[in-house]
């Protein structure tokens, strides 16, 4: 029992999201009386079931709180950086398929615009980079290639890294492998090799590797294969070193899709929040304090999820 507990703590340290006991529900079962309750999501099995929806904080955290080991519902200060602060340049490469492209969102930006604004709020001068441009936002570059599988991204990623030299890579890939039933038994190995290529080509980049969001499919076995693929990702990430982090995007539920595979505006808002939350829990956050929550799409506040 003691060994299992230590292992869970080590996993929290490696990936930055709280890990619950193996038999725990992925949503917090209780919260302070004045906290906004996180919505319920589909039940999960295996390693991904240990990740909970980050809950909105209710009150300031104690000064002694340790961010890396605090539960996802830990409180954060609501102050934003002073207007006179010098913004920190940050080159971000959104990397993936049509979900990264923004298919399904009303202005075709996906999660990118919301995440850009959040990073700006915490003192960065974000520069989204890549060979593609889509969506109604000024900084609309990315590498979200419609229809691409893991192997297709892998075949081009060394060139992408050399051309754009990102500081941060946001990787959400594998949906088309699933949709095409493309050798899913070896999809985790392909993902692992892709991460290794990024690390070799750009060793200073922080790589955030996401599990796949929900899918709707009438094909037999798709849900099982998606779960198996998602469950393999935390273990892959854990072996890649401190510059690679796991991001539980599987917490975006099927009800927030615009079609069979692409989020609607609410789903993309949740993706943006989960990326932001993961970045804020990593070494990218050098402020010594938690980042402001901002709009909380898993709650009841008015916004894309509650028009």
Angstrom distance (rounded) from CA 257 to CA 265: 9
**Residue 71 and residue 290 in contact, taking contact as beta carbons nearer than 8 Å:** no
Backbone φ and ψ for 129, nearest 5 degrees, come out as: -125, 155
95 located within any domain: yes
Residue 2 domain-assigned (yes or no): no
- What tokens does 27 get? 């949503």
The answer to whether residue 36 sits within a structural domain is: no
What was the pLDDT predicted at 263?
98
pLDDT value at residue 8:
42
> What's the pLDDT score for residue 55?
64
Q: Does the predicted model carry a pTM greater than 0.85?
A: no
Report yes or no on 31 lying in a domain: no
CB-CB contact of 251 with 26 (8 Å):
yes
Q: Is residue 105 included in any domain, yes or no?
A: yes
Q: Tell me, yes or no, whether 214 lies in a domain.
A: yes
d(C-alpha 220, C-alpha 41), whole Å: 22
Is 225 a member of any domain? yes
In angstroms, the first-to-last Cα distance of the chain is 46
CATH number at 247 reads 3.40.50.1110
Q: Of 100, 86, 107, nearest to 129 (Cα)?
A: 100
Q: Give the pLDDT score at 11.
A: 40
Residue 227's domain spans which residues?
A: 88-280
Asked whether residue 222 is assigned to any structural domain, the reply reads yes
Question: Nearest-CA neighbor of 93 among 143, 51, 26?
Answer: 143
Nearest to 20 by CA among 244, 284, 280, 248: 248
Decide: 90 and 275 in contact? Cβ < 8 Å: no
How confident is the prediction along the chain (307 residues), in pLDDT tens digits per residue?
A: 444 444 443 444 344 444 333 333 232 222 333 333 334 445 556 777 777 777 665 433 333 332 332 223 323 223 334 444 678 999 999 999 999 999 999 999 999 999 999 999 999 999 999 999 999 999 999 999 999 999 999 999 999 999 999 999 999 999 999 999 999 999 999 999 999 999 999 999 999 999 999 999 877 789 999 999 999 999 999 999 999 999 999 999 999 999 999 999 999 999 999 999 999 999 999 999 999 999 999 999 999 999 8
Residues 6+ apart with CB under 8 A from 213: 99, 172, 175, 249, 250, 252, 257, 263, 267, 271
Tell me how many domains the chain contains: 1
Pair 94, 117: CB distance under 8 Å: no
What integer pLDDT is reported at residue 237 of this predicted model? 98
CA 158 – CA 155 distance, rounded (Å): 8
Predicted pLDDT of residue 52: 75
Q: Which two tokens mark 178?
A: 């699933």
């Amino acid at each position: 029992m003691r060994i299992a507990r230590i292992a869970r703590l080590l996993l929290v340290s490696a990936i930055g999201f709280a890990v619950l006991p193996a038999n725990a529900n992925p949503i917090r079962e209780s919260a302070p009386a004045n906290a906004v309750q996180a919505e319920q999501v589909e039940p999960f099995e295996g390693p991904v079931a240990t990740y909970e929806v980050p809950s909105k904080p209710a009150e300031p955290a104690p000064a002694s709180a340790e961010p890396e080991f605090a539960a996802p519902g830990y409180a954060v200060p609501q102050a934003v950086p002073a207007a006179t602060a010098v913004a920190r340049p940050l080159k971000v490469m959104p990397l993936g398929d049509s979900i990264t492209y923004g298919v399904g969102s009303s202005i075709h930006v996906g999660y990118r615009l919301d995440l850009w604004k959040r990073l700006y709020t915490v003192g960065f001068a974000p520069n989204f980079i890549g060979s593609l441009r889509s969506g109604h936002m000024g900084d609309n570059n990315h590498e979200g290639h419609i229809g691409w599988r893991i192997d297709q991204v892998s075949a081009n990623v060394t060139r992408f890294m050399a051309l754009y030299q990102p500081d941060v890579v946001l990787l959400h890939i594998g949906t088309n492998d699933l949709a095409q039933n493309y050798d899913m038994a070896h999809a985790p190995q392909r993902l692992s090799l892709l991460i290794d290529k990024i690390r070799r080509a750009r060793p200073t980049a922080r790589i955030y590797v996401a599990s796949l969001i929900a899918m709707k499919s009438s094909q037999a076995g798709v849900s099982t294969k998606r779960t198996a693929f998602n469950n393999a990702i935390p273990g892959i990430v854990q072996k890649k070193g401190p510059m690679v982090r796991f991001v539980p995007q599987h917490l975006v539920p099927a009800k927030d899709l615009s079609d069979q595979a692409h989020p609607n505006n609410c789903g993309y808002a949740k993706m943006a929040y989960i990326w932001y939350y993961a970045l804020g829990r990593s070494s990218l956050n050098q402020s010594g304090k938690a980042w402001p929550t901002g709009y909380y799409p898993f709650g009841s506040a008015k916004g894309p999820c509650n028009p």
